[in-house]
């Protein structure tokens, strides 16, 4: 970590986060959106790991946090896909802009 | 405090956890799923019985990951009430019959546990974790009725919106963590005080707001709420309008009060703006609703705006205001949803037009609904008024005149749409086609009585509650 | 403290009659209602007349009690019987009683007989209160209640559209003056700090005008005079009195000839010290009086309704009195007031008798009634002579006093106008007399008969007054009456002048003669004269077009303003509020929400704005979750940019 | 009972209301009689206050004090003085009359009597409490409590546009009172020690700017209730649509809550701001008087005309308040009382006619004086009282008001005098159109007023006449308090 | 050492670039399956970065949990709904432009903030080495409560997910 300035990694993770966010905003496919969310979570994870190695007061904190985030991400995907499958079964669509019964 | 010593203070939560697993087991064993519900209620009662007010001292259980203080205590009581009432409503909710009813109760017990962890979360990690826990359970419960396309749509929207918001929040958390080098809120506060960190603090905290704002349905992160509330099964909607929202506020309060002491008062401007925006949008949109659940969704957005007033002024009074308001809102909104459940149970629909002539079809129900709506409007001497009084008082004390005026105007607008329901119930004659009310099911009725008792008592003797909550 | 006092009974007795009659009259008393009123009236007479004579002998009565606390003082109500009020009291009780006796016959058979007497009793009570009141507020209260009675009695035959209109007009027109009166009184209070007559007189006598400038007092006096203009039917508010003749004739006699309308003159007399303190107000009074006197007489020349002729004559005579007061002739004015009350009441009663006997009011349908109604005719002619100012009847003496005042005080123009008016008075009165009582019966459908004794006896009673009452003020008694009044309020006096008397007699006799020539001998002359002086005739016949002018320039704009404001209220104030957003409304949303929310529900500021915003905000909720996310994200971004002070 | 007399006065109607709630819906007679008895008992309790109340003292009497919400120093604090006593008495009086008026009227309106009387009694409690509360917080609560039953009473038993009128009334007043709440809170936080206690607050001094802002906040709340031009538009609608007894309460008592608020709170708490706003209030008063008069003139609806006449007459109250001197205050308070009785009576009379003819169009009537002589007499009586005929209470109050305002501004008084003239015009015009003229054959079978209706009107007439003839009887109760108020405001008595 | 360092540095930057490219592929590719593969590649790249940061444990978790478990589930879901993920369907909605502009602004702003901030890098942290063992101990001691909570989350969520994903069978 002495090799690369922390800012560079942070910019990298920011870009990754931005790409993920862009995906969530523009992907029609709900699975695509979920994938994009994974990118966002990973961006945050990179931050956590980098900070664990640079600014953290105790070395484990960031990494342990990252482990929890990965776990939560996995659960989110599981729950998300379960819901998407249920939706797919009844509505025959997995496009986010085709589910708009509820509005106004 | 280490894990072993902590356990003796952790008994209520353990009861709930064991109860949850027990409920799943019981679900296999019994045919009448209602028994599971009753069992769950007993679990909640047992937990409540086991709870002790830490009264003044702060217990940092599990190395500080479970931060039990008076504040957390009252929010876990809040969570228990919310969950128990939801259970009672669910037990007489026809669409849930024969659709994994037992699991539903079990999940709700987990939800109770999740809410308690939120209340006791005192660092960035636990906040993220606990909030995600609540969120995930909420997505699942929203989509629980699989036969209902609306429910699934709601779940999907909830999931997507919630995940993105928590992604943003997590990003903010990571930045805050990096800046402070620690996940303790106290450290974060220390760090952010230095001027060079203020820009980063801004970004981090606003990211944080995104995640919490989503929970409390604060504008502009509120837009999921109407769709989800409309689509979700009614007892779940009832729960969602109070439970996660209140706990979101709990975290919000904790973060703001510990992270931002009054030296961070410039955040007050942002919060003031958010508060005004939230209540205005909620109120403006609520006016034209035709579905009662959606209507209450917007109403709950507006209520969130009022509650934010308490936070925006950064004062002890404001902090208390949030709590009092939430309790008032708890009784009121759950009561109102009990009526919604009853009407839905009788007519199978939840349109506002289905309430026509309710005062003749079921005078008691209409009367209770009126009480709750008046409380939401903030008419004394009901609980809602005490909440409103508190937030107004906090605003005036903090010299936030503009905020107070905007809130006052908003309250007047709100009165209009709350009275729309009253109008429909009392002034619009019932249609020929509407079914008559049979005997109302027992549990929602109990809820009605309990909640209205809460609304009236809190309204008439707020002094007692204030003393109870804040000593 | 209220002390039991017989003088308090004077107004209270008729009031008791009113209460009993209004509550029980219709059901229990029926025709006995009249007797109750008359009895209380007589009782009032019995109490009042000794009091009057005591005052004539130099006594003075006053008593009061606290009625109301105003500011840091106390407003005390009570009575004050001084020479001025004693003379009025004397006249009112006698005339009032006689007219009520007459009315008991005249109103016989009316379905609302008891109501009538209730009203009349109330009127008597108010009039008596007014006369003996000791302060302006009590005076004003009585004054207004008289106005009410006038209203009720003019509208007594309310089924007639014209009567309904007339009472409305009468009340409103006088009310206009009353409001001025009230303001004047308030100003006076501000200047002098009291409402009490005695205290006002005392203060002014000492030259104490209060803290405020004298011009303030003058303004106050003018405002008070407004009351007179309204009540005594002075120009320009005289229009109500002729219409007031829609009421039963005894009412016209009592209220609209003898007493109430004279109260306006009495008001000026009552506040004479104020006018004296600010003499620059006097010309206003004189001018108004003079115009009224002349104009009304001029109009009376061409009228054909017997009661209207008398009404205009009343206006004209009231103008005379006001003119006199304006020239500081308190004695002359009051003297004429008293005498006039008797002979004008007599004239009206006579007219009533004629109407009662013939059932018509238009003099062109009458004629030759002298033989059929001898009592009526004789009394009527005596009264006419008195009015015309033929010596030695009372009218002559009082009118002469006024002319003398004008002449001697140097108001030459006024003198000549009044003289001309006197001539016209004599003319139109005898035009009336000749057409009505002499010649041939013009309308074959009219079957006249003499009235019963209950009606004719009061006529004779009044004749006594009309004939004799001139004496106390005449040179024969060395102007006893004027001097008597001067005890109380000092005012200038003049020596009788032969020139003035001569002129007066010539005018009277000339008028009568001319009327005789035209209407007895050469009846066709009337028409040719009318033709020759067409514009003048028209002017007179149409009462100077004043009603039309008022209607066009005052009443219609007035009501129109009400309409306009109402529309303003409904559209603008309510709508302002609706319409704030109206300019900027949004495409199709507009109609939608107007229909749905405005028409259906809330029509006010909040409503409009709210619904308008609602239509926008609601549209953001598209149902597309990514739209939500985008909005949330952009909002989030905006807050970051704002909070980082990048904007 | 006398030791907690004010509480009994306030809550007796509430007790009655809950007794009603326990009765079965069909027990109509019981419901009616219990409601009536409750109002009568309340009135009796108010009468009990007469021997206990010392009229010559200016402070609060019969005070009841108990800590309610100690955290905010909020007290249950009731008290009565010369300002509230007449109002409480008026409330008791008008409530009985309105209840009597309801007996026949609500039956006609299609039942739901239990709910009706429940709300009616709830309303009475709210009004009584408003007039008796001395703690600002408590006052606000009662103030708001009044709104809700009113909404239902108009909304359920009202005329054709009842829903609109009800919600309009509700929203207008609620909006106003919310601002008042902000003002109350500002006062609370501006006080040292913090308190809502009226008696303590009045002795505190605030900065002028603070006073002005808070005065405005209170003003909004009170002005809408009065209603002061231009906040009056709810009034015609509410009055016209409300059922007769409710119109009576509305005009008779409810409007007074606004002007009462000025006297009780705005003036003693913010005397400097009051003086600063004096011209503005005067101008609004005059506008109200003239405007209300003109608009009343243009009405063809009987009830609407009376409603607008209220705007005009309440303008006199405001004018008296704006005068800020002894006579003005006395006039204003007396006008509040007399307007309550007079307009209440007029609305009852409108109801009597409407119940028979089912129309209120003035142009539709005519000549009823012949058919209904007693009614005609009473209508004329009340109209005359309304137009300020001397001898009736309206005159005394208007006279005092004008006397007071004259000392303040001659121009305003002069303009207000136009209002008197207008009152005469529209009232007589109304009488002309209803009672005089030819009888419209449509109405040839209208029965005259009956004894029940008469019983609602005669007591009011007695008060109108009594006060008109000898105003001292009531003014003696008012004057010490009003003089005290004036002294605290720094004016000379 | 110099060369090694340089190589490591270049490798790290290359890895970052690669991850970003794959990430772009995730959001930009039409075929969802390809997107998923891109995601897998990006995740592996990130795991590499973790190694570079000497977070070996995390790298392992990343590979095992993410690439192994999560990706499998995702690809399974994509297969199930395959005919909808095909090339023919438009895969992006119409708000690309505002989203892009907004995100560009966000990146600019936050990048500026990141570069401005004086990150409190401590030598202690730089020098610290966290072993797998250390993390395990931490999870079992200090972080025992969150660890337990996350296990409850897993159980609860999986029960829920199963119920939701099950076919509707009215029993």
Chain segment C135-190, per-residue pLDDT in tens: 888 899 888 888 888 888 888 888 888 888 888 888 888 888 888 888 888 888 88
Question: In this model, does residue C582 exceed pLDDT 50?
Answer: no
Q: What is the pLDDT of residues E83-139, one digit of tens each?
A: 665 555 677 888 888 999 999 999 999 999 999 888 888 888 777 777 888 888 888
Q: For testing the chain E interface, which of A18, A73, A76, A95 should be mutated: the one with the most E CBs within 10 Å?
A: A18
Residue E45: give the domain boundaries.
1-90
Give the separation between CA C553 and CA B422, rounded to whole angstroms.
52
Do the Cβ atoms of D373 and C26 come closer than 8 Å?
A: yes
User: What are the backbone angles phi and psi of residue B96, rounded to the nearest 5°?
Assistant: -85, -15
Rounded to whole angstroms, what are the CA distances from B304 to B85, B279, B297, B312, D458? Answer: 21, 7, 11, 12, 54
Nearest CA in chain B to D166: B423
Least confident span in B171-175, B397-401, C392-396, D18-22: C392-396
Q: How confident is the model at residue C349 (pLDDT cuts 50, 70, 90)?
A: confident
Between chains, do C632 and B165 touch, taking CB under 8 Å as contact? Answer: yes
* Burial of C458 per CB tally in 10 Å (0-12, 13-18, 19+): buried
User: What are the backbone angles phi and psi of residue D334, rounded to the nearest 5°?
Assistant: -65, -40
User: What are the backbone angles phi and psi of residue D67, rounded to the nearest 5°?
Assistant: -70, 135
Q: Say which residue, B467 or D367, is predicted with more confidence.
A: B467
Cross-chain CB nearest to E66 (options A10, A70, A79):
A70
- D141-158 burial, b at 16+ Cβ within 10 Å, e below that, comes to bbbbbbbbbbbbbbbbbb
Per-residue pLDDT, C161: 81
Domain at A62, CATH number: 1.10.287.3510
Average pLDDT for residues D78-84, to the nearest whole number?
90
Question: In this model, does residue B54 exceed pLDDT 60?
Answer: yes
Give the separation between CA A72 and CA B128, rounded to whole angstroms.
10
Residues 6+ apart with CB under 8 A from C222: C184, C281, C284
Give the separation between CA C284 and CA C261, rounded to whole angstroms.
19
* Cross-strand bridge partners of residue B125: none
3-class SS of residue B295: helix
Q: For testing the chain C interface, which of B156, B160, B214, B220 should be mutated: the one with the most C CBs within 10 Å?
A: B220
The interface residues of chain C toward chain A in range 162-201, judged by CB-CB distance below 8 A, are none
Do the Cβ atoms of B70 and B42 come closer than 8 Å?
A: no
Q: How confident is the model at residue B416 (pLDDT cuts 50, 70, 90)?
A: confident
Per-residue pLDDT, A43: 94
Least confident span in B448-462, C95-109, C605-619: C605-619
Question: In this model, does residue D432 exceed pLDDT 90?
Answer: no
Average pLDDT for residues C392-397, to the nearest whole number?
83
Least confident span in D21-30, D43-52, D396-405: D21-30
Per-residue pLDDT, C164: 83
Number of helices and strands in chain B (H, E): 21, 2
Q: Which helix (H) or strand (E) holds C570?
A: none
Residue B236's nearest CA partner among B162, B145, B142 is B142
Cross-chain CB nearest to C636 (options B199, B220, B283):
B220
Do the Cβ atoms of D279 and D371 come closer than 8 Å?
A: no
Torsion angle (degrees, nearest 10) of CA B222, B226, B231, B236: 70
Residues E76, E160 within the same domain: no
Residues E71, E135 within the same domain: no
Instruction: Evaluate whether residue E96 is within a structural domain.
Output: no
Between chains, do D178 and B411 touch, taking CB under 8 Å as contact? Answer: yes
Q: What is the pLDDT of residues B224-265, one digit of tens each?
A: 999 999 999 999 999 999 999 999 999 988 888 776 665 566
Subunits that touch chain D (at least 3 Cβ pairs < 8 angstroms)?
A: B, C
Per-residue pLDDT, B434: 67
Q: How confident is the model at residue E6 (pLDDT cuts 50, 70, 90)?
A: confident
CA within 13 Å, CB half, B136: 32
Residue D148's nearest CA partner among B392, B440, B459 is B459
Residue A57: give the domain boundaries.
6-98
Nearest CA in chain B to C613: B284
Write down the residue that tokens 């909550």 correspond to: B469
Domain extent listing, chain D: 1-268, 270-493
Give the separation between CA C80 and CA E32, rounded to whole angstroms.
111
Residues 6+ apart with CB under 8 A from C293: C316, C317, C318, C319, C320, C322, C323, C417, C418, C421
Q: Which helix (H) or strand (E) holds C78?
A: strand C73-81
Instruction: Evaluate whether residue A45 is within a structural domain.
Output: yes
Average pLDDT, chain D: 88
Work out the minimum CA distance from E114 to partner chain C, whole angstroms: 13
Q: What is the pLDDT of residues A58-71, one digit of tens each?
A: 888 888 999 999 99
Residues 6+ apart with CB under 8 A from C647: C641
User: What are the backbone angles phi and psi of residue C80, rounded to the nearest 5°?
Assistant: -145, 110
Q: Which helix (H) or strand (E) holds D78?
A: strand D74-80
- B20-40 burial, b at 16+ Cβ within 10 Å, e below that, comes to bebbbebbeeeeebbbbbebb
Domain at E13, CATH number: 1.20.120.1200
Per-residue pLDDT, B458: 92
Residues E82, E5 within the same domain: yes
Percent helix, strand and coil across chain D, each to the nearest 5: 80, 5, 20
Residues E137, E74 within the same domain: no
Q: Say which residue, C8 or B111, is predicted with more confidence.
A: B111
Residue C578's nearest CA partner among C614, C552, C549, C602 is C602
Average pLDDT, chain E: 86
Cross-chain CB nearest to D163 (options B389, B411, B423):
B423
Per-residue pLDDT, D111: 63
Per-residue pLDDT, B263: 58
Per-residue pLDDT, E168: 64
Question: In this model, does residue B276 exceed pLDDT 90?
Answer: yes
Instruction: Evaluate whether residue E45 is within a structural domain.
Output: yes
Between chains, do E102 and C634 touch, taking CB under 8 Å as contact? Answer: yes
Between chains, do B66 and E156 touch, taking CB under 8 Å as contact? Answer: no
Residues E23, E79 within the same domain: yes
Instruction: Evaluate whether residue E86 is within a structural domain.
Output: yes
Question: In this model, does residue A17 exceed pLDDT 90?
Answer: yes
Residues 6+ apart with CB under 8 A from B131: B118, B121, B166, B169, B211, B212, B215, B248, B251
3-class SS of residue B179: helix
Work out the minimum CA distance from B221 to partner chain C, whole angstroms: 5
Q: Which helix (H) or strand (E) holds C63?
A: strand C61-70
Between chains, do A100 and C619 touch, taking CB under 8 Å as contact? Answer: no
Instruction: Evaluate whether residue A1 is within a structural domain.
Output: no
Q: How confident is the model at residue D292 (pLDDT cuts 50, 70, 90)?
A: confident
Give the separation between CA B425 and CA D106, rounded to whole angstroms.
20
- For chain D, the maximum distance between any two Cα atoms, rounded to a whole number of angstroms, is 71
- C508-540 burial, b at 16+ Cβ within 10 Å, e below that, comes to bbebbebbbebbeeeeeeeeeebeeeeeebebb
Q: How confident is the model at residue C520 (pLDDT cuts 50, 70, 90)?
A: confident
Per-residue pLDDT, C592: 37
Least confident span in B23-37, C497-511, C565-579, D35-49: C565-579
Number of domains in chain A: 1
Residues E8, E83 within the same domain: yes
Integer Rg of chain B from CA: 21
Residues E74, E7 within the same domain: yes
Q: Which chain C residues touch E if contact means CB-CB below 8 Å?
A: 624, 626-627, 630, 633-634, 637, 640-641, 644, 646
* Cross-strand bridge partners of residue D77: D65
Question: In this model, does residue C572 exceed pLDDT 70?
Answer: no
Average pLDDT for residues C328-342, to the nearest whole number?
85
Task: Read off the DSSP letter of residue B291.
Answer: B
Number of helices and strands in chain C (H, E): 30, 2
Per-residue pLDDT, B265: 63
Average pLDDT, chain C: 80
| Angle at CA of residue D413, ends D412 and D414, nearest 5° | 90
Q: What is the pLDDT of residues E47-81, one digit of tens each?
A: 999 988 888 888 999 998 888 888 888 888 888 88
C and E adjacent (3 or more CB pairs under 8 angstroms)? yes
D and C adjacent (3 or more CB pairs under 8 angstroms)? yes
Least confident span in C142-156, C554-568, D244-258: C554-568
Average pLDDT for residues C462-474, to the nearest whole number?
81
Write down the residue that tokens 């009091």 correspond to: C51
Residue C333's nearest CA partner among C384, C268, C278, C391 is C268
Give the separation between CA D121 and CA D96, rounded to whole angstroms.
11
The reply to whether omega before D227 is within 30° of 0 (cis) is yes
Of the three residues E24, E57, E90, the one that is the final residue of a domain is E90
Least confident span in B2-6, B333-337, C224-228, C517-521: C517-521
Which chain A residues are Cβ-neighbours of E167 within 8 angstroms? 89
Residues 6+ apart with CB under 8 A from D489: D267, D268, D271, D274, D275, D324
Which chain C residues are Cβ-neighbours of D470 within 8 angstroms? 67
Q: Is D19 on the interface with B (CB under 8 A)?
A: no
Per-residue pLDDT, D30: 87
Residues 6+ apart with CB under 8 A from D91: D124, D127, D128, D131, D253
Give the separation between CA C440 and CA C456, rounded to whole angstroms.
23
Do the Cβ atoms of A48 and A66 come closer than 8 Å?
A: yes
- B423-446 burial, b at 16+ Cβ within 10 Å, e below that, comes to bbbbbbebeeebeebeebbebbbe
- C24-35 burial, b at 16+ Cβ within 10 Å, e below that, comes to ebbeebeeebbe
Number of domains in chain E: 2
Pull the structure tokens for residue C534: 């067409």
Per-residue pLDDT, D123: 94
């Amino acid at each position: 970590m002495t090799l690369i300035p922390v800012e560079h990694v942070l910019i990298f993770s920011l870009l990754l986060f931005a790409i993920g966010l862009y995906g969530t905003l523009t992907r029609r496919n709900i699975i695509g959106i979920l994938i994009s969310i994974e990118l966002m979570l990973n961006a945050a994870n990179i931050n956590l790991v980098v900070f664990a190695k640079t600014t953290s007061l105790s070395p484990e904190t960031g990494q342990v946090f990252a482990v929890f985030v990965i776990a939560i991400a996995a659960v989110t995907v599981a729950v998300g896909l379960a819901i998407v499958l249920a939706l797919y079964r009844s509505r025959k669509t997995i496009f986010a802009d085709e589910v708009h019964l509820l509005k106004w | 405090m280490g894990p072993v010593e902590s356990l003796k203070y952790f008994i209520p939560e353990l009861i709930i956890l064991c109860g949850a697993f027990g409920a799943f087991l019981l679900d296999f064993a019994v045919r009448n799923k209602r028994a599971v519900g009753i069992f769950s209620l007993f679990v909640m009662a047992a937990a409540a019985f086991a709870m002790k007010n830490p009264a003044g001292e702060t217990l940092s259980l599990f190395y500080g990951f479970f931060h039990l203080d008076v504040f957390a205590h009252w929010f876990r009581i809040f969570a228990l009430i919310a969950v128990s009432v939801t259970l009672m409503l669910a037990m007489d909710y026809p669409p849930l019959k024969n659709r994994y009813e037992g699991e539903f109760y079990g999940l709700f017990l987990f939800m109770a546990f999740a809410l308690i962890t939120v209340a006791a979360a005192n660092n960035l990690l636990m906040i993220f974790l606990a909030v995600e826990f609540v969120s995930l359970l909420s997505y699942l419960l929203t989509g629980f009725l699989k036969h209902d396309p609306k429910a699934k749509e709601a779940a999907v929207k909830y999931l997507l919106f919630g995940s993105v918001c928590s992604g943003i929040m997590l990003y903010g958390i990571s930045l805050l963590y990096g800046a402070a080098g620690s996940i303790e809120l106290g450290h974060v506060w220390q760090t952010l005080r230095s001027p060079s960190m203020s820009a980063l603090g801004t970004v981090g905290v606003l990211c944080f707001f995104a995640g919490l704002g989503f929970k409390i349905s604060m504008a502009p992160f509120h837009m999921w709420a109407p769709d989800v509330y409309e689509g979700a099964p009614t007892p779940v909607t009832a729960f969602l309008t109070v439970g996660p929202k209140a706990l979101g506020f709990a975290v919000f309060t904790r973060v703001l009060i510990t992270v931002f002491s009054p030296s961070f008062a410039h955040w007050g401007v942002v919060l003031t703006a958010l508060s005004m925006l939230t209540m205005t949008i909620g109120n403006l949109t609520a006016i034209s609703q035709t579905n009662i659940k959606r209507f209450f969704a917007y109403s709950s957005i507006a209520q969130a705006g009022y509650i934010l007033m308490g936070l925006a002024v950064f004062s002890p009074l404001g902090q208390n205001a949030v709590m009092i308001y939430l309790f008032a809102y708890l009784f009121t909104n759950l009561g109102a949803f009990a009526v919604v459940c009853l009407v839905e149970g009788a007519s199978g629909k939840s349109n506002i037009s289905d309430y026509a002539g309710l005062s003749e079809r079921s005078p008691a129900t209409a009367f209770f609904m009126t009480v709750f709506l008046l409380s939401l409007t903030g008419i004394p001497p009901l609980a809602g008024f005490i909440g409103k009084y508190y937030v107004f008082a906090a605003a005036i004390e903090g010299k936030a005149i503009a905020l107070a005026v905007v809130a006052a105007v908003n309250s007047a607008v709100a009165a209009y749409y709350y009275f729309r329901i009253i109008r429909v119930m009392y002034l619009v004659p019932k249609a020929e086609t509407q079914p008559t009310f049979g005997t109302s099911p027992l549990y929602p009725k109990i809820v009605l009585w309990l909640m209205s008792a809460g609304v009236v008592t809190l309204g008439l003797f707020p002094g007692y509650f204030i003393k109870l909550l804040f000593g | 403290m209220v002390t039991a006092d017989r003088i308090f009974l004077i107004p209270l007795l008729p009031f008791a009659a009113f209460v009993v009659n209004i509550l029980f009259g219709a059901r229990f008393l029926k025709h006995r209602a009249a007797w109750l009123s008359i009895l209380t009236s007589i009782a009032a007479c019995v109490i009042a007349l000794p009091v009057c004579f005591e005052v004539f002998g130099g006594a003075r009565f006053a008593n009061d009690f606290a009625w109301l606390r105003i500011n840091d003082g106390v407003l005390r109500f009570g009575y004050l019987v001084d020479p001025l009020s004693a003379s009025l009291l004397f006249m009112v009780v006698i005339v009032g009683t006689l007219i009520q006796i007459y009315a008991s016959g005249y109103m016989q058979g009316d379905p609302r007989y008891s109501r009538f007497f209730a009203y009349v009793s109330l009127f008597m009570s108010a009039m008596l209160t007014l006369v003996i009141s000791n302060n302006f507020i009590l005076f004003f209260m009585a004054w207004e209640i008289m106005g009410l009675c006038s209203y009720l009695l003019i509208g007594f035959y309310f089924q007639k559209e014209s009567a309904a209109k007339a009472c409305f007009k009468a009340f409103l027109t006088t009310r206009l003056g009353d409001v001025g009166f009230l303001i004047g009184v308030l100003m006076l209070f501000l200047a002098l700090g009291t409402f009490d007559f005695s205290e006002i007189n005392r203060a002014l006598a000492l030259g104490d005008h209060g803290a405020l400038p004298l011009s303030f007092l003058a303004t106050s006096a003018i405002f008070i005079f407004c009351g007179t203009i309204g009540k005594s039917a002075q120009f320009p508010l005289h229009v109500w009195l002729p219409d007031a003749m829609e009421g039963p004739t005894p009412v016209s006699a009592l209220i609209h000839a003898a007493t109430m309308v004279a109260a306006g003159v009495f008001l000026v007399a009552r506040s004479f010290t104020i006018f004296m303190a600010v003499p620059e107000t006097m010309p206003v009074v004189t001018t108004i009086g003079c115009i009224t006197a002349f104009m009304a007489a001029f109009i009376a020349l061409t009228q054909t309704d017997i009661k209207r002729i008398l009404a205009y004559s009343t206006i004209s005579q009231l103008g005379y009195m006001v003119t006199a007061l304006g020239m500081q002739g308190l004695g002359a004015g009051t003297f004429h007031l008293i005498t006039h009350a008797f002979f004008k009441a007599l004239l009206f009663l006579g007219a009533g008798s004629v109407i009662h006997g013939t059932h018509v009011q238009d003099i062109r349908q009458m004629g030759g009634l002298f033989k059929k109604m001898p009592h009526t005719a004789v009394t009527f002619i005596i009264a006419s002579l008195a009015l015309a100012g033929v010596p030695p009847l009372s009218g002559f003496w009082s009118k002469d006093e006024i002319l003398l005042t004008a002449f001697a005080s140097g108001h030459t123009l006024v003198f000549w106008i009044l003289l001309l008016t006197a001539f016209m008075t004599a003319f139109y009165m005898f035009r009336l007399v000749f057409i009505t009582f002499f010649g041939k019966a013009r309308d074959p459908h009219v079957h006249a008969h003499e009235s019963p004794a209950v009606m004719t006896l009061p006529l004779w009673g009044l004749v006594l007054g009309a004939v004799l009452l001139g004496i106390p003020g005449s040179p024969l008694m060395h102007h006893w009456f004027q001097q008597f009044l001067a005890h109380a309020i000092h005012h200038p006096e003049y020596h009788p002048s032969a020139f003035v008397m001569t002129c007066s007699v010539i005018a009277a006799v000339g008028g009568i003669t001319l009327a005789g020539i035209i209407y007895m001998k050469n009846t066709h002359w009337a028409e040719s004269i009318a033709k020759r002086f067409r514009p003048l005739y028209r002017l007179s016949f149409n009462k100077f077009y004043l009603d039309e002018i008022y209607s066009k320039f005052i009443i219609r704009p007035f009501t129109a303003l009400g309409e306009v404001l109402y529309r303003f209220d409904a559209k603008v104030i309510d709508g302002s509020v609706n319409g704030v957003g109206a300019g900027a409304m949004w495409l199709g949303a507009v109609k939608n929400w107007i229909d749905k929310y405005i028409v259906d529900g809330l029509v006010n500021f909040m409503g409009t704005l709210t619904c308008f915003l609602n239509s926008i905000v609601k549209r953001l909720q598209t149902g597309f979750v990514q739209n939500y996310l985008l909005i949330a994200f952009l909002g989030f971004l905006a807050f970051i940019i704002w909070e980082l002070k990048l904007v | 009972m006398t030791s907690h007399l004010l509480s009994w006065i306030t809550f007796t109607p509430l007790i009655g209301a809950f007794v009603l709630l326990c009765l079965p819906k069909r027990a109509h007679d019981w419901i009616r009689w219990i409601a009536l008895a409750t109002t009568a008992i309340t009135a009796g309790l108010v009468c009990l206050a007469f021997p206990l109340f010392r009229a010559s003292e200016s402070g609060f009497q019969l005070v009841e004090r108990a800590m309610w919400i100690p955290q905010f120093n909020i007290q249950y604090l009731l008290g009565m003085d010369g300002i509230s006593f007449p109002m409480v008495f008026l409330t008791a009086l008008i409530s009985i009359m309105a209840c009597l008026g309801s007996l026949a009227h609500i039956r006609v309106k299609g039942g739901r009597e239990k709910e009706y009387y429940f709300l009616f009694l709830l309303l009475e409690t709210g009004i009584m409490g408003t007039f008796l509360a001395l703690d600002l917080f408590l006052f606000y609560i009662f103030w708001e409590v009044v709104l809700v039953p009113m909404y239902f009473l108009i909304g359920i038993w009202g005329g054709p546009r009842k829903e609109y009128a009800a919600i309009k009334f509700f929203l207008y007043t609620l909006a106003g009172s919310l601002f008042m709440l902000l003002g109350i809170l500002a006062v609370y936080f501006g006080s040292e020690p913090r308190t809502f206690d009226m008696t303590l607050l009045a002795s505190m001094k605030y900065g002028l700017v603070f006073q002005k802002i808070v005065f405005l906040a209170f003003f909004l709340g009170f002005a809408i209730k009065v209603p002061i031009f231009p906040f009056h538009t709810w009034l015609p609608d509410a009055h016209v649509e409300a059922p007769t007894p409710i119109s009576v309460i509305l005009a008779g008592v409810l409007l007074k809550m606004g002007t009462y608020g000025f006297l009780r709170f705005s003036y003693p708490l913010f005397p400097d701001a009051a003086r600063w706003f004096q011209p503005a209030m005067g101008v609004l008063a005059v506008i109200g008087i003239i405007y209300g008069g003109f608009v009343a003139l243009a009405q063809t609806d009987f009830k609407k005309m009376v409603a607008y006449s209220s705007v005009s007459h309440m303008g006199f109250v405001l004018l008296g308040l704006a005068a800020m001197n002894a006579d003005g205050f006395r006039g204003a308070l007396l006008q509040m009382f007399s307007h309550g009785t007079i307009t209440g009576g007029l609305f009852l009379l409108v109801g009597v006619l409407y119940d028979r003819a089912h129309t209120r169009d003035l142009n539709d009537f005519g000549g009823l004086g012949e058919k209904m002589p007693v009614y005609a007499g009473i209508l004329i009586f009340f109209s005359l009282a309304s137009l300020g005929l001397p001898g009736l209470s309206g005159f005394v109050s208007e006279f005092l008001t004008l006397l007071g305002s004259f000392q303040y501004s001659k121009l305003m008084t002069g303009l207000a005098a136009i209002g008197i003239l207008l009152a005469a015009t529209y009232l007589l015009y109304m009488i002309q159109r209803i009672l005089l003229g030819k009888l419209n054959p449509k109405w040839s079978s209208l029965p005259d007023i009956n004894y029940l209706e008469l019983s609602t009107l005669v007591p009011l007439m007695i008060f109108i006449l009594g006060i008109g003839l000898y105003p001292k009887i009531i003014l003696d109760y008012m004057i010490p308090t009003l003089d005290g108020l004036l002294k605290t405001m720094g004016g000379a008595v | 050492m110099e060369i090694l360092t340089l190589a490591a540095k270049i490798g790290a930057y290359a890895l970052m670039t690669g991850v970003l490219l794959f990430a772009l592929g995730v959001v930009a590719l039409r075929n969802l399956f390809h997107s998923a593969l891109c995601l897998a590649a990006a995740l592996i790249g990130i795991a590499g970065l973790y190694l570079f940061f000497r977070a070996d444990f995390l790298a392992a978790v990343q590979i095992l949990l993410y690439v192994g478990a999560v990706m499998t589930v995702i690809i399974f879901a994509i297969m199930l709904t395959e005919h909808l993920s095909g090339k023919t369907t438009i895969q992006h909605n119409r708000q690309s432009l505002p989203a892009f502009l907004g995100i560009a602004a966000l990146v600019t702003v936050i990048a500026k903030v990141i570069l401005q901030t004086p990150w409190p890098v401590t030598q202690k942290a730089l020098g610290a080495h966290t072993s797998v063992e250390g993390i395990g101990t931490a999870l079992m001691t200090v972080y025992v409560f969150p660890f337990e909570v996350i296990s409850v989350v897993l159980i609860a969520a999986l029960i829920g997910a199963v119920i939701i994903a099950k076919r509707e069978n009215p029993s």
